[in-house]
Amino acid sequence: MKTAASMPLRLGADDGAPLYRRAEGAIRSAIEDGRLKPGDRVPSVVDLAARWKVHKLTVLKAFRRLEADGLLESHVGRGTFVRSAVPSPSPSALVPASSATRAAPPAPRTPRQREAYDRRLREWMASARRSGAIDLVGGVPSAEGIPDGLLGRLAQKALSKDPQRLYGYGGPAGLPELREAIARTLAREGTEVSPEDVIVTNGSQQAIALVAAWARDEGRAAFVETPSFTGIDGAFALFGHDVQSVPWADGAFDVAALRASAGGRRGVAYVCPDFHNPTGWTMPVDARRALAAWAREEDGAVVDDEIFRPMRFEGEAPQSLYSLLPAGRRFLAGSVSKSFMTGLRVGFLVADAPVVADLLTPRRHMDLGSPALVQAIAAAFLDDGYEEHVARMREANRARRDAALTALEEAMPKGVRWTRPEGGFQMWVTLPDGASSIDVFLEGVDRGVAIAPGPVSDTGSRWTSSFRLGYGHGTPQDVREGVRRLAGAVEAVLSRRGASSHAGIEV
Ligand SMILES: Cc1ncc(COP(=O)(O)O)c(C=O)c1O
C-alpha cells in the first residue's frame, strides 16, 4: 500500500469544467492508469485542497462522487482509500431484488446514476471477452463478410473526381451526393423520400440524439421502448429528458401502455420495429397502425429506427412504420454503419423538410457536420457494392440463425423459449420463470460463451429472465458450438436452483 503524501496527483488543465469535476477527473485517471492502486490511501482533502489551491469542499465533492461510483471508500479516522475490489458490475448492482421482467418502470434515474450504470455494464460485459470464448453478444455486423481491399477501392473512387469538394465543411445536412444516394437506397427498399429530407449523421446514434434535442425544444415527453438498445435511453437523457419506458409484450410495442403512460401529454416515442434490438421481433402491421393512430390523435411524434430493416432474409417486409406516420412529426433513423462497418460512423435521419430545417441548428452546434471524405466513401458504397454486400450478409445471417435454432432445439432444457427472427442479427431467449440470465451469463463466461443478459437492454435492469443471443459472427459451426455451451450453462443454472422445467414465459 502506498502512502498518500508522495502521490503525484496533478489537477488537469482548465478545460472549462467545474473545479470539482477536474478534481474528480485527476483522481479517477490516477486510478484508471494504475498510479493509484486498490488499497492505496488517497491524499487527504486538506492536503489536496492545499496542493491544488482549491476549496476543501471542492475536493470533498469529488471524493463523494468517486465514492458513489464505488471507486473510493472512506474510513472515519483512517482516511480515504481506493477500493480494493473493482466496483463490481455485480449482479446485485444491476438487478433489483424482485426479478420481475415486465414490472412497472422503476423511479426515474438521475443522469448521474445512468452514467454509473452504463459504466458498470460496459465493465461487466468486458469480462466476457476471454480468448477462446464464442461471442453470442451480437448486435453488430460481422467484419468477416467485408472483401479485402474494399475500403481502399471506395476511398479511391471517392477521391477520383474533384477531391476539393471534400476539403471544407460539408454542411450540417451532409454531402449532397450521399443524401441523394441514401434517398435512392430507401426508394429501392420501398420508402420514397426526397434528398432534402435526409440529414447525414455520425451513426444513427446521433440521429436519435438530434430527435432528442428537437423533442426537448418542443417540450415533448420521451417514451422509449423496453427492452431496447440502452444507447437510445441515454441519448434522450443527455438532452434532459426524464425517459419513460414502454414495454414490448408478446411481439409488439405496447401502444396501450404508451397511451396510459403519456396520459394525453405530447410526446415522442422511439421504436425499432424491424428485427428489434434485442428481441429480433418485427412489429406487426396492426401494431404499427396503432402507434401511428396514437401519433395522429395525441399530436405525438415517432422515431422509427430502421437500422436492421435491410437485413431481412425471410418473409415479407411489413409496410415501413415511417410511411404510416403523420407528416411533420415523423423520423426515420437509418445506418450505413450497421449494414457495413460500424467504424464508418455514417447514419442518417429522415424527417419532413420543415423539421429538417429545425434540426440543422442543433446539428451545427453538435459538430458542424460529418467528415466529408467518410461521407463520400459511404456514397460510393451505396451506389456500388451495397446491394451485393447486404445480400451476402443476409445469407450469412440466415445460415447462422438456422444453426442457432437447430442447436437451441437440440440442446436447451425444456421450458426455455426463444424468438425466431426473420432477419437481423439477434434473438431473445427466455428462461423458465424466475431463473436469472445474469447467472447464465456468469456460468457462460466460465464455459467459453458470451451472451448479453436481459438487464443490459433496460436502464431499469428489468428483463432478468431473458437474454439476447447474437448470431451475427463466426461460422454456423461456431454458433452451434456456442449455443451448446450456453445450453450447458442454462442447465447448470436451472439444476442449481431446482427450477421446474415447464414454467415457460410466452415470447
Ligand atoms: C437499435 C439501435 N439503434 C441505433 C444504434 C446505433 O448504431 P450506429 O450509431 O452504429 O448506427 C444501435 C447500435 O447498436 C442499435 O442497436
Q: Is 465 in the pocket of ligand 1 (CB under 6 A)?
A: no
> Is 471 strand, coil or helix?
coil
> Is a pLDDT exceeding 60 seen at residue 103?
no
Give the pLDDT confidence score for residue 144 in this predicted structure.
84
**In whole angstroms, how large is the CA radius of gyration of the chain?**
24
Segment 282-299, tens digit of pLDDT: 999 999 999 999 999 999
Q: Is 310 in the pocket of ligand 1 (CB under 6 A)?
A: no
Q: Is 309 in the pocket of ligand 1 (CB under 6 A)?
A: no
Segment 487-500, tens digit of pLDDT: 999 999 999 876 44
For residue 301, give the DSSP letter.
E
DSSP letter string over 181-198?
HHHHHHHHTT----GGGE
How many CB atoms lie under 10 A from the CB of residue 98? 9
> Is a pLDDT exceeding 60 seen at residue 99?
no
The contacts of residue 64 (CB under 8 Å, 6+ apart) are none
Q: Is 205 in the pocket of ligand 1 (CB under 6 A)?
A: yes
Q: Is 370 in the pocket of ligand 1 (CB under 6 A)?
A: no
Q: How far is residue 399's CA from residue 405's CA, in Å, rounded to a whole number?
A: 10
**Which of 361, 384, 319, 359 has the alpha carbon at shortest distance from 197?**
359
Nearest atom in ligand 1 to the alpha carbon of residue 276 is: 1
How many CB atoms lie under 10 A from the CB of residue 497? 12
38 CA distance to ligand 1 middle (Å): 35
182 CA distance to ligand 1 middle (Å): 17
For residue 457, give the DSSP letter.
G
215 CA distance to ligand 1 middle (Å): 19
103 CA distance to ligand 1 middle (Å): 26
Q: Is 337 in the pocket of ligand 1 (CB under 6 A)?
A: yes
Report pTM.
Answer: 0.78
Segment 360-386, tens digit of pLDDT: 999 999 999 999 999 999 999 999 999
Average pLDDT of the residues in 476-484: 97
Give the pLDDT confidence score for residue 109 in this predicted structure.
54
Q: Per the structure block, which three cell numbers stand in for 163?
A: 477531391
Q: Is 203 in the pocket of ligand 1 (CB under 6 A)?
A: yes
Region of poorest pLDDT, from 180-184, 200-204, 462-466: 462-466
CB distance 168 to 372 below 8 Å: yes
**Residue 423, beta-bridge partner list:** 312
State the Cα angle at 447 between 444 and 449, rounded to 5°. Answer: 55
Q: Is 201 in the pocket of ligand 1 (CB under 6 A)?
A: no
Q: Is 200 in the pocket of ligand 1 (CB under 6 A)?
A: no
Terminal-residue alpha carbon distance, the chain: 52
Kind of pairing, strands 221-226 and 267-271? Answer: parallel
Q: Is 341 in the pocket of ligand 1 (CB under 6 A)?
A: no
> Is a pLDDT exceeding 80 seen at residue 121?
no
Query: Is the bond into 91 cis (omega within 30 degrees of 0)?
Result: no
Q: How far is residue 101's CA from residue 411's CA, in Å, rounded to a whole number?
A: 24
303 CA distance to ligand 1 middle (Å): 13
Q: Is 394 in the pocket of ligand 1 (CB under 6 A)?
A: no
111 CA distance to ligand 1 middle (Å): 21
272 CA distance to ligand 1 middle (Å): 10
DSSP letter string over 194-258?
-GGGEEEESHHHHHHHHHHHHHHHHTPEEEEEES--HHHHHHHHHTT--PEEEEEETTEE-HHHH
Q: Whose CA is nearest to atom 14 of ligand 1?
A: 139
329 CA distance to ligand 1 middle (Å): 21
Q: How far is residue 296's CA from residue 494's CA, in Å, rounded to a whole number?
A: 47
Q: Per the structure block, which three cell numbers stand in for 389?
A: 454486400
Query: Is the bond into 476 cis (omega within 30 degrees of 0)?
Result: no
Q: Is 426 in the pocket of ligand 1 (CB under 6 A)?
A: no
